[in-house]
């Protein structure tokens, strides 16, 4: 089994940029990468849920991967490519491209239309994808809120550990902290389990998390970096305060539809990733103005410039 370095710090699940007509606007990728690096983000996780991968064609996903790898060449920002798809042949093609481009890793959620009905089927599905990128660390993407899958991720590690040679761990996007602990302790702590629930980052740090994957790290990384810094210093009052700021921020965005509001917030920061594609709805101009006003009143822009 290859030994892969575990992830550390913040991993931003990036938006896929679209133009006014809804087509890919890949010219924004460089600006996204620069913004993340300047914000203290260590890694970009592209083409995932935040990246609206289920609304992209395979060719668009291939073009997105190629552009991100070109944009980050020589950068300190690493790139993990999400390749999961309902069609495993598509997922394998995306994984093979990620390996050829020398991405930092690959991740895949389970097929969710025809759902794997057993653990052995889930393992076989992930093994089929991972075998297309044998030299890269492979992360199973646990996100039951989207896949509707109820199979235990810790059981997956037990079943897949010897069957997927490049299995690095699990991108754990769930608020089940019991399962998170079981995954962290699986095989004597061998696996990397980056935590993927932004509003509970502090809880995951208390349980040993060393990295976190999230959508709000695109536009609010300083808040989370202060959570991490305060936790490391043992300043739990500050850590809890900053974590609650995350909860408040995400509630503000969710009122208008989280995907559209998050992308609009990126535009306010000078990184115009456009509106989401259907079936995610877009915000009207007056809604964007209302959102900006609420964010200003809440102190969002000041919170981005505050120091740890």
Hey, what domains does the chain have and what are their CATH numbers? 9-236 (3.20.20.70)
* 238 assigned ligand-binding residue: no
pLDDT digits (tens, 9 = 90+) for 144-171: 999 999 999 999 999 999 999 999 999 9
Which residues partner with 13 through β-bridges?
45
Q: Are 71 and 36 in contact (CB under 8 A)?
A: no
CA atoms within 13 A on the CB side of 259: 19
Instruction: Write out the catalytic residue numbers.
Output: 141, 171
Quote the percentage of the chain above a pLDDT of 70: 99
With contact defined as beta carbons under 8 Å apart, do 77 and 46 qualify? no
**308, burial (CB in 10 Å: exposed 0-12, middle 13-18, buried 19+):** middle
167-172, strands of its sheet edge to edge: 167-172, 138-142, 105-109, 78-82, 43-46, 9-13, 211-214
14 is in an annotated binding site: no
266-293 pLDDT, tens per residue?
A: 999 999 999 999 999 999 999 999 999 9
For the whole model, what pTM was predicted? 0.96
pLDDT in tens, 206-217: 999 999 999 999
Q: Per-residue pLDDT averaged across 123-135, rounded?
A: 98
Does 248 have pLDDT greater than 70?
A: yes
């Amino acid at each position: 089994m290859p030994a892969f370095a575990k992830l550390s710090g913040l991993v931003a699940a990036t938006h896929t940029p679209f133009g006014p007509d809804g087509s890919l606007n890949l010219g924004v990728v460089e600006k996204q990468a620069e913004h993340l690096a300047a914000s203290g983000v260590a890694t970009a996780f592209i083409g995932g849920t935040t990246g609206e991968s289920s609304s992209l064609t395979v060719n668009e996903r291939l073009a997105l991967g190629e552009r991100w790898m070109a944009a980050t060449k020589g950068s300190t920002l690493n790139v993990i490519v999400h390749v999961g798809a309902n069609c495993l042949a598509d997922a394998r093609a995306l994984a093979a491209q990620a390996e050829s481009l020398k991405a930092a890793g690959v991740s895949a959620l389970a097929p969710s239309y025809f759902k794997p009905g057993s653990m052995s089927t889930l393992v076989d599905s992930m093994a089929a994808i991972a075998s297309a990128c044998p030299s890269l660390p492979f992360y199973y993407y646990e996100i039951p809120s989207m896949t509707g899958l109820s199979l235990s991720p810790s059981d997956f590690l037990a079943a897949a550990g010897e069957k997927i040679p490049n299995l690095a761990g699990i991108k754990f996007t769930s608020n089940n902290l019991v399962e998170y602990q079981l995954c962290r302790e699986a095989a004597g702590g061998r696996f990397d389990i980056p935590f993927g629930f932004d509003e509970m980052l502090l809880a995951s740090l208390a349980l040993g998390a060393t990295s976190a994957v999230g959508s709000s790290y695109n536009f609010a990384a300083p808040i989370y970096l202060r959570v991490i810094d305060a936790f490391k210093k043992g300043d739990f009052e500050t850590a809890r305060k900053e974590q609650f700021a995350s909860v408040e921020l995400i509630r503000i965005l969710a009122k208008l539809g989280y995907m559209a509001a998050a992308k609009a917030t990126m535009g306010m920061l000078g990184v115009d990733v456009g509106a989401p594609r259907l079936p995610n709805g877009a915000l009207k101009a007056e809604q964007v103005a209302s959102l900006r006003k609420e964010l200003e009143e809440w102190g969002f822009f000041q919170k981005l410039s505050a120091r740890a």
